[in-house]
Amino acid sequence: MKINFLILFSFFLSLTIFAQKKSVGIIPEPKEIKLLNGSFEFTPQTIIYFTDDNQRGAVEQLQYLFSKSGEFVLKATKMKPSKNFISLEKNQNLEKEAYRLSVKPNQIAIEASTVIGFSHAVASLRQLLPVQVESKTLQKMKWKIPAMEIKDEPRFAWRGLMLDVSRHFFPKEYILKTLDRMALLKLNTFHWHLVDDQGWRIEIKKYPKLTEIGAWRVDHENLHWNNRPDQKPSEKATYGGFYTQEEIKEVVAYAEKLGITVVPEIEMPAHVSSAIAAYPWLSCTEEKITVPPGGVWPIVHIYDPGKESTFEFLENVLAEVMQLFPSEYIHIGGDEATKTKWETCKTTQDRMKQLGIEDVDELQSYMIKRIEEYLNKHGRKIIGWDEILEGGLAPRAAVMSWRGMKGGIEAAQSGHDVVMTPGVLYFDGPQGMPDVEPQAFGSMKTLGKVYDFEPIPAELNQEEGKHILGPQANLWAEYIHTTEHSEYMLYPRLFALSEIAWSPVSTRNKKEFYQKTLSMMKRWDLLGINYAKSIFDVTGSVKVNQEKEKKQVILDLNNEFPGEKEIRYTIDDADLSGKSPKFFKPLEINKTSTIRAGLFIDGKLAGKVYKKNIEIHKAINAKVSYEPYAHKSYTGQGEKTMTNITRGSLDFHDGQWQAWLNDDVTLTLDLGQEKEINQVKIGAMENQGSGIYYPIGAQVWVSEDGVDYISVGKFTRPYADNGYAEITDFAFDFEPTKARYIKVFVDNLGKAPYGGDAWMFVDEILVN
């Protein structure tokens, strides 16, 4: 009877352990974890037992662990101790990146088959230790890890991070630190964007001017990226930098110890103004240019595939690149070439005749195929941005899908390998509301959105899905001047990338992921790594209350953290504090007000203050007719967009803007009944870097009957360069007038000043 009871008891105990399936806090979540009883404690006497010299990287990582926070360095030996040790043993049956980690009270055992497998095991172990292990000063702690068994391996073979070091140069030390952080997150591919218009960053012995000239530009760092004049003859190029070949070897060797592959990117045929500034004969016009100090668009200074000397140059450069980088893949860029000069140059036209082609895309394809052949001959493969699909994909090329998933789907369906890096993995985008984030590109890419990304598109069948090598985050650095800002953009989003790239879908749990993120943030604090706290910010959405007679609007407040949360708010000038009213349900606003809100944790404001001015005006919900209707890409929320009280934000993809491409627009508002009015305001956005320009004029007329209109105001404003993204309300004030209908004409710039089309974004029309 007694025995039976015990069996029953242990049966239930094991059931609870397995049913619990609670995370032990590791990012990325391991494939399989089994919790056991007891714990292992690291002490200064703990020995590292290793069996093979290729485990030295892992041994060093283990030795580093307690060197500051415990003030002891674990001894390492190849003689097997009997107790209080951690063993590293090779297990040939394990896949390349797989590992086993067994923690028991008297021993920790790690098994793996490769350098990177051992490195992954140490990364897990480190995250199982109390966060204080990261402290730089002695901590009076017991360094205990609960007993468990982990069987782990990655879902994807490519788990990448790209750093752009051209737009702004980042020192070698920062690259090394980033590799450490990648290793802790089990990322295995560092894509090094070494070449772009604004700086050539890799020493090439055969072509010294690439770095003597191409690595330096005139210093306009005080000006906005998209508003920087070219270098004048009287000016010196003093801003920039490059990596010597010795430094690159150091980075590659460091990465190798961690098991990380470094994939260099040598852009072609575009994004190479820096190379053309050094050697003008690389372009077909051979005109002398300087290294651009800021934004370049469109990119017309590109290599000339008409001349053999261009291929000789590229092969010589790639030969040195291959000497430095042992990676299977070399990234050859391929994106965003504007090939207008190829249409008129003699060399390129001759080449096209010789090849019997009429299309410049095919000429780019010819160039990429030749480079592929050269690299294949040397045992390497190419990967390129998805434009390499245009004009015919090189036969063995892998594709990096960045313009959404489309290019990746097409490549996978035709049997090519793919790395997925669509917009949501563009970490140069803001991770919270653009108005409270540092200047960033495009729409919000919150931590949660990154976490929700699935790298294998539903369009692919199982076989095709195998061509998805994995996801990668890209950090373009146009707006990123410092390593601290770079860290801010990377973390915590890189935690999410790590989990989607590594963990089986079945183990993913968003709520737990946010909890793990909090604990990882504590680790990052101790390591002195800057990270964004945008997950603690409040977001708001405003809408017209359609159910009531009153012109009332509803403001909903939210925060991306899952579960219970404490959002507090104030209306108008009251101070926001832990004692402000708690937000339970959407607020109904009846008069023009300013709302402030914030997320509170333990009574303290956790993130930034959300501030919203809501203007209750006389045209809310008014019917609007258009001449012409908005461009099909930006129709906002349809015909009520202009009067729906929800203002478009700095994120021009937020679904609240209506836009016109080169066209002017006339909007007619029907207020439903006659009202006395004395002001009309037109909200518009400018973001010249994205081709969006303020109107160059506007006019307003009012009418009682919709037939006879009188003009109440008109303005014109000349075009002016503006590097910033901004929203302005253009206001017309006039004598109080009775009107039911309001006609608003908004004048589009019509043509972009430096070529191309001009977008005009409008929202909202406010009437008082």
Contacting residues toward ligand ACM, per CB under 6 A: 335-336, 385, 402
> Buried b vs exposed e over 353-367: b needs ≥16 C-beta within 10 Å?
eeeebeebbbbbbbb
Contact (Cβ atoms closer than 8 angstroms) between residue 348 and residue 284: yes
Query: Closer to ligand ACM at the Cβ: 336 or 663?
Result: 336
The count of residues in the chain is 768
Number of alpha carbons in the 13 Å side-chain half-sphere of residue 304: 24
Closest CA relative to residue 230, chosen from 282, 291, 287, 184: 291
Give 720's contacts (C-beta < 8 A, 6+ positions apart).
none
Task: Check residue 188 and report its DSSP letter.
Answer: -
Rg (CA), the chain: 30
β-bridge mates for residue 557, sequence order: 540
- Closest contact distance (angstroms) between CB of 335 and ligand ACM is 4
Residue 733 DSSP SS3? strand
Q: Which of 691, 668, 651, 638 is nearest to 744 (CA)?
A: 668
Nearer to ligand ACM, 120 or 168 (CB): 168
Task: Specify whether the backbone of 149 is left (phi greater than 0), alpha (psi in -120 to 50) or beta.
Answer: beta
C-beta of 406: minimal distance to ligand ACM in Å? 14
d(CA 544, CA 126): 51
Nearer to ligand ACM, 365 or 644 (CB): 365
Residue type, 179: L
Q: Which residue is nearest to ligand ACM (CB)?
A: 335
Cβ of residue 428: shortest distance to ligand ACM, in angstroms? Answer: 9
Cβ-contact 763, 648 below 8 angstroms: yes
Which among 60, 336, 410, 704 is annotated as catalytic? 336
167 or 516: whose CB is closer to ligand ACM? 167
- Please identify, using beta-carbon distances, which residue of 335 and 361 lies nearer to ligand ACM: 335
Give the C-alpha distances (Å, rounded to integers) separating 355 from 48, 305, 349, 360.
63, 12, 10, 11
Distance CA 717, CA 698 (A): 9
Calpha distance 488→185 (Å, rounded): 16
Q: How far is the CB of 476 from ligand ACM (least distance, A)?
A: 6
Are the beta carbons of 375 and 382 closer than 8 angstroms?
yes
Q: Measured from the CB atom, is 425 or 555 closer to ligand ACM? A: 425
Give whichever of 170 and 441 is closer to ligand ACM, judged by the CB atom.
441
Helix (H, G, I), strand (E, B) or coil at 341: helix
- Distance between CA atoms of residues 137 and 69, nearest Å: 5
d(CA 252, CA 728): 49
The phi-psi region of residue 415 (left if phi > 0; otherwise alpha if psi is between -120 and 50; otherwise beta) is left
Q: In the complex with ligand ACM, which residue's Cβ is closer, 335 or 654?
A: 335
Q: How far apart are the first and last CA of the chain?
A: 85
- Give the residue carrying structure tokens 């200074």: 301
- Indicate if 336 belongs to the active site: yes
Q: 156 vs 385, which CB is nearer to ligand ACM?
A: 385
**Which residues are 758's β-sheet partners?**
none
Q: Which is nearer to ligand ACM, 230 or 335 (CB)?
A: 335
Query: To which H or E segment does residue 378 belong?
Result: none
Minimum CB separation of residue 332 from ligand ACM in Å reads 12
Strand bridging mode 610-614 / 658-661: unpaired
Count how many Cα atoms sit within 13 Å of the Cα of residue 208 in the half-sphere of its side chain: 0
Of 693, 684, 679, 663, the closest CA to residue 736 belongs to 679
State the minimum distance, in angstroms, from the CB of residue 199 to ligand ACM.
Answer: 16
Q: DSSP label at 46?
A: -
Q: Which residues are catalytic?
A: 336
